[in-house]
Amino acid sequence: MKVVCLAGGVGGAKLVQGLDALELDLTVIVNTGDDFWHWGLFICPDVDTITYTLSGLADTRRGWGLEGESWGALSAMRRLGAEDWFGLGDHDLATHLRRTAWLREGVPLSEVTRRITQALGVRSRILPMSDAPCPTIVNGENFQTWLVRQRAPAVRSLETTAGPPAPGVQAALDEAELIVLAPSNPYVSIDPILGCIGALPQVPVRMVSPLIGGEAVKGPLAEMVPVLAGRPPSTQALLDHYGFAFDRVLEGPATLMPTLEDRVRVARALL
């Protein structure tokens, strides 16, 4: 079965890992609205989280970064007065150094991502939503500054940027037999992707809700819904926000996915 999953963040990575374990013909279109420059390096947090998860290298306790990471470079940069609010580990730096070098050579982000995922042994296709910069701006700040440095204060304004879909994105959508929306924040993870790809193809669309009992498993979504939708946080509020029909929606405590077995169980339920 040809499956396309739209994803971003830690929750997205968990579901993607479950789908990947089923050995489907899986393409993951990943949010790049939170990509940004830091220490002169181009960082792709969502792409990297999903890549590390599918390669088996992710730190499952933190949910981001690499297992067995060390922090010598961060400590040394701090001594030299560099900003230290975004945690870049020593091994993680290799990804960003390589990506930045390729980008400066003119290699597009989609090809850079292909090279990195191939080197790390990822089986499924991971595609950035666009090769063009598509920053998400919250309260006038880039997304990571708002989320990590400022610790996600109340949303006063939110802007997403659409670019042309990256090579391979439209072909994957045209061939898809099923579209899956991962349990990712609709406003800052899924909306940016939809802005780049436009209308979804006429195939079944299924979603795992990122809310359980009106609460987000991780992140600021529950606080964002009342501001952006003008109603209490709920799965129905998210469905109304999307405004298109879903073939099936999974929600509730059974969608928690702390282990690989749970992730496979939820993926099977979607299929």
Q: Mind listing the pLDDT tens digit for each residue in 4-61?
A: 999 999 999 999 999 999 989 999 999 999 999 999 999 999 999 999 999 999 998 8
Report the domain count for the chain. Answer: 1
Residue 258 C-alpha from the chain's centroid: 17
pLDDT one-digit tens code per residue, 55-107? 999 998 887 899 999 999 999 999 999 999 999 999 999 999 999 999 999 99
> What is the rounded CA–CA span in Å between residue 172 and residue 88?
32
Q: Is 44 helix (H, G, I), strand (E, B) or coil?
A: coil
Whole-model pTM?
0.97
Q: What is the CATH number of the domain that holds 196?
A: 3.40.50.10680
Q: Which two tokens stand for residue 210?
A: 């990122």
State the first-to-last Cα distance of the chain, in angstroms, to the nearest integer: 10
Query: Which residue type sits at 116?
Result: I
Domain coverage including residue 122: 2-270
Q: Are 194 and 187 in contact (CB under 8 A)?
A: no
Span 111-158, pLDDT tens digits: 999 999 999 999 999 999 999 999 999 999 999 999 999 999 999 999
Q: b/e map of 165-184 (b: 16 or more CB within 10 Å)?
A: bbebbeebbeebebbbbbbb
Burial environment of residue 137 by CB neighbours within 10 A (0 to 12, 13 to 18, 19 or more): middle
pLDDT, tens digit (0-9, with 9 covering 90-100), for 204-230: 999 999 999 999 988 999 999 999 999
Closest CA to 124 of 260, 25, 5, 265: 25
Asked if residues 162 and 194 have their Cβ atoms less than 8 Å apart, the reply is: no
- Residues 216, 39: contact at Cβ < 8 Å? no
Q: Which of 207, 170, 172 has its CA nearest to residue 190? A: 207
For residues 11 and 218, the answer to whether their CB atoms sit within 8 Å is yes
